Structures are given as structure tokens and as C-alpha cells.
């Protein structure tokens, strides 16, 4: 999106260069920098940038490199990650009947905090709260293991928040691998958490107070859920959400994930809770209105809570999948989608059987990656150093949480719903059910099927950060985890 804009504007900065110049084609990043200085939120003295521009033009290898098409199975990063997977301990066969608890905490920052989700907002602050945003947490305990599922009404579980949490976990006596982070992926929640330039474009000016307060609220919700633990039955169910999702990358009617997946919990006291996921992007609301909202997921959970005691939602395999709605970019549409999904879930949940179980397992596996492949044309990429300067460099993980025979897999990406049939088939072979969620404390961009890498689409170009086989690589790892 940024590069498309810059190609139109390049003559403003380089009027004496021809449009088909190799220098222009290979150094769009330089132009990107010069355009960014025009943004009100990122004003620098332009004379300080000319030496940098000259240096980059002279050192092409520092700016542009060839794409690396090495098969991932022949790489060091693949072998290191698989070695970690193979070293995972066997499932603990000890434990008592599973206990579950749940809690939610309002995490809405003050009016005037930036919104997160669209770069064209340029750090726009919200002036109105349409509906508050929350952290919703489940705690699980079988006597020998404890784990926590945390869903944030945010674009992602931000890297800056995850960094603060690593310290907060120690204070609370929690191991990082016990916590499974997720997000609803609403594009109308708060920002203020991005440290690098790309994060500030997408989420506004960094605010340390917002980051630390969000981390404290997460810890508070974990402790509240711990205090709520009681013996509970668990059941897995699905519902049909085909009317509410489309594949925006290919417009295919068949290659889309239309399944609503949910876990149903029933305590001995009669209290019930539902944890659900779906693959449609929560991008219904207008991008340029300064209004805070959880989009359709907030409507969904509030509607579920008319019938059950507690509900939480997490974005599923949303990569390349958009919401379908008929009332325009409006709150009327979020109401229709949220209520429609809730009705489908409640109907299926009424027929979903639950049972006691002792199975509880949690893992957090380091995810080793290739060098970034932020693309420039068909066969080129920006140099990794430039990518890290713009986006930052963060550790990445895959989370695995097993409750009974249901396996939840958390990934740090917009992971495409087109991969779900392959994962479901593997899960069925293992007599398991599988749920995939995204945005678990890091971010790798869009993970799409390899065959779509050549498409001239946003998901395949601007937001595909790790090369032509990133989809096959990550899916291969998830398949291994399903057999553990």
C-alpha cells in the first residue's frame, strides 16, 4: 500500500530521474523514507535525510537483494525449529479432573489514545468510545498443570505488551509458556503500543503508560480467573458461518474457512462459558472515524452472554478472509454479523455434549525464521536490515494448548483459513479437534498458500514478510504439533 503510493509520488523528489530507471525501481525504500517525512506525525529535518539517501543509492546491496527460494526443509531455521518440536516432553498422563475459571477486565484507555489498524489514520486518536474493550481470560488446572487462555479486544497481542508481560509473569509466579495470548483482531481498538516506525504508522505514537497498564490488566484477569477455578466439563463444537465470510484474496467460494469453532464449559454449579473463533476479519467499521469499538466480536460475545455466563472470542485463521455484511461500513453491520454468529453458536452449543477430562497440556515453541522477504517486484526484496529498521526484530513462538481432545494452536500472524482443511484432516487422524488463533505476541505478516505468492495483492506483496514458502513451513510445523 505504501509502495503503491510512493511510485505515484516519486517525481516530487527525483524529477530528473526517468520513471523506468533501475535506481528508482530498486530503491523505493529511499522514496518511502522521504515520503514519510511529509507525515505530520513523523516530521524530520529533510536535510538530514539526503546523506542517508546518497549512501543507500551507492550501496545497492544494503537496500535490495535477490529472493531466496531455498526449500525450507533444507534450511537451518527449519531444522532448529523441528529439533525443538521433537524435544517436547510426552503428554503428562497424570492429573485430576480439569478445573476451569474465567474473568474479564475492562482495558479501555482514556479518550485521546491512538487507534490501531489502518496506516492511513496516521496516528488518529479516538474521541468517542462506542463499546469498551476487554481482556477475557480462561484459567485451567488439573492438579499437575496450569494454563491460561488470554484474548484481547485489540488488533494483536502487541510485542511491547508481551515484553512487559515476561517480567510480570515472574512477579505473579507464572511461567511464560503457561500463557496462551490471542486477540480479536478488531481494527477499531486502541494503539499506542508500536515502538518502530511501522508500528507507529499502524498504531499511533508509542505510549508506555498504555502498554504497562494493558499488561497489568492482563495479569489481573489471570488472577481473577484463577480465583474462579472449579471442576468443569468440556466440549468442542462447530457451527456454519458461511454467510459471514469471504476469501478476499482469490474470491473463491470453496477455498475459505466457513467454520465457527467453539469450546463449551460447564461447571458443577451450572455456570457455562463459551470460547469461540472465526476466520472473518473484524474490519467492518469505517477506517477514518475516531471511534473505539471491538467491531463484530464485541457484539458476538455480548449476545452470547445473554444465554451463558461468560464468553470470549479470538480471531481464527483470518489471513485473506473478510467479513460479509449488507448494511455498509456501520454499527448496523457489526450488530448483524455479531448476532448472526452468536445465533449459530448457541444453536450448535445446545446440542454439544460435554465431559470431564484430566487432559491439559501447554507448550510454547520458539519459531525460527528465514531472513525477511519484504518484496520489491517479482524477484527482489528489501535487505533484512532495512526491514528490521522499519518493523523491528522480535522473538516468535507457536503456542499449543490441549484441553481434552481439542488442540489450540496459536501463531504470530494473519494465518490463512485456506490451510484449515489440511489441519482438520490431520487432527481427525489423531482423534482430535483443532482450533487455530493468531496474533500471539509477535507478528510475521500474512501467511498464505505458496501458490498465491505471485498474486499482485496486498496479502501477497506488501504484507508477506517471510518469503514464498512461509505458508508451507508454518503449516508443516502445526501438523507436527497436532501429532504430539
Instruction: Establish whether 281 is an annotated binding residue.
Output: yes
Element (H, E) at 58: helix 50-58
Please state, in angstroms and rounded to a whole number, the distance separating the CA atoms of residues 165 and 147: 15
Q: Which residue's C-alpha cell is 508481560?
A: 165
Please state, in angstroms and rounded to a whole number, the distance separating the CA atoms of residues 245 and 259: 10
> What are the φ and ψ backbone dihedral angles of 413, each rounded to 5 degrees?
-165, 170
CB 182 within 8 A of CB 313: no
CB 455 within 8 A of CB 418: no
CB 227 within 8 A of CB 141: no
C-alpha cell belonging to residue 112: 485521546
Instruction: Establish whether 185 is an annotated binding residue.
Output: yes
Please state, in angstroms and rounded to a whole number, the distance separating the CA atoms of residues 22 and 111: 47
Partner residues linked to 182 by β-bridges? 151
CB 436 within 8 A of CB 464: no
Among 314, 212, 292, 249, residue whose Cα is nearest residue 449:
249
Binding-site members for Zn(2+) are 185, 281
Binding-site members are 185, 281
Amino acid at each position: 500500500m505504501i509502495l503503491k503510493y510512493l511510485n505515484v509520488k516519486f517525481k516530487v523528489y527525483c524529477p530528473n530521474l526517468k520513471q523506468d530507471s533501475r535506481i528508482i525501481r530498486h530503491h523505493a525504500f529511499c522514496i518511502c523514507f522521504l515520503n514519510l517525512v511529509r507525515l505530520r506525525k513523523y516530521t524530520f529535518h529533510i536535510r538530514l535525510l539526503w546523506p542517508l539517501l546518497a549512501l543507500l543509492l551507492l550501496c545497492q546491496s544494503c537496500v535490495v537483494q535477490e529472493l531466496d527460494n531455498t526449500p525450507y526443509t533444507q534450511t537451518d531455521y527449519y531444522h532448529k525449529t523441528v529439533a525443538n518440536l521433537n524435544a517436547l516432553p510426552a503428554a503428562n498422563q497424570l492429573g485430576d479432573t480439569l478445573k476451569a475459571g474465567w474473568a474479564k477486565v475492562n482495558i479501555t484507555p482514556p479518550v485521546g489514545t491512538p487507534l490501531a489498524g489502518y496506516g492511513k489514520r496516521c496516528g488518529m486518536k479516538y474521541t468517542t468510545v462506542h463499546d469498551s474493550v476487554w481482556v477475557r481470560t480462561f484459567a485451567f488446572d488439573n492438579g499437575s498443570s496450569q494454563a491460561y487462555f488470554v484474548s484481547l479486544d485489540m488488533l494483536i497481542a502487541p510485542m511491547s505488551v508481551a515484553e512487559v508481560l515476561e517480567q510480570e509473569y515472574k512477579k505473579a509466579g507464572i511461567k511464560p509458556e503457561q500463557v496462551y495470548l490471542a486477540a480479536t483482531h478488531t481494527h477499531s481498538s486502541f494503539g499506542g503500543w508500536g515502538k518502530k516506525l511501522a508500528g507507529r504508522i499502524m498504531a499511533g505514537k508509542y505510549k508506555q503508560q498504555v502498554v504497562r497498564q494493558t499488561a497489568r490488566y492482563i495479569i489481573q484477569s489471570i488472577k481473577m480467573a484463577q480465583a474462579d477455578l472449579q471442576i468443569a466439563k468440556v466440549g468442542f463444537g462447530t457451527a456454519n458461518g458461511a454467510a459471514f465470510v469471504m476469501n478476499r484474496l482469490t474470491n473463491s467460494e470453496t477455498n475459505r474457512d466457513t467454520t465457527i469453532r467453539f469450546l463449551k464449559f460447564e461447571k458443577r454449579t451450572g455456570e457455562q462459558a463459551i470460547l469461540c473463533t472465526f476466520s472473518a476479519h473484524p474490519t467492518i467499521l469505517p477506517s477514518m472515524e475516531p471511534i473505539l469499538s471491538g467491531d463484530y466480536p464485541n457484539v458476538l460475545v455480548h449476545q452470547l452472554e445473554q444465554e451463558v455466563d461468560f464468553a470470549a472470542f479470538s480471531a481464527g485463521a483470518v489471513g485473506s478472509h473478510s467479513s460479509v455484511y449488507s448494511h455498509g461500513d456501520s454499527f448496523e453491520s457489526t450488530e448483524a454479523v455479531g448476532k448472526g454468529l452468536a445465533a449459530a453458536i448457541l444453536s450448535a452449543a445446545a446440542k454439544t455434549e460435554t465431559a470431564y477430562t484430566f487432559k491439559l497440556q501447554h507448550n510454547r515453541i520458539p519459531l525460527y525464521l528465514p531472513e525477511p522477504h519484504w518484496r520489491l517486484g517479482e524477484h527482489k526484496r528489501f535487505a533484512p536490515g532495512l526491514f528490521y529498521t522499519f518493523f523491528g526484530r522480535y522473538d516468535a513462538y507457536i503456542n499449543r494448548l490441549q484441553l481434552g481432545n481439542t488442540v489450540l494452536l496459536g501463531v504470530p500472524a494473519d494465518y490463512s483459513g485456506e490451510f484449515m482443511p489440511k489441519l482438520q484432516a490431520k487432527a481427525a487422524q489423531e482423534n482430535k479437534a483443532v482450533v487455530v488463533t493468531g496474533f500471539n505476541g509477535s507478528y510475521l505478516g500474512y501467511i498464505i498458500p505458496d501458490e498465491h505468492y505471485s498474486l499482485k495483492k496486498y496479502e501477497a506483496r506488501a504484507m508477506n514478510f517471510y518469503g514464498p514458502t512461509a505458508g508451507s513451513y508454518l503449516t508443516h510445523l502445526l501438523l507436527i504439533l497436532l501429532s504430539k
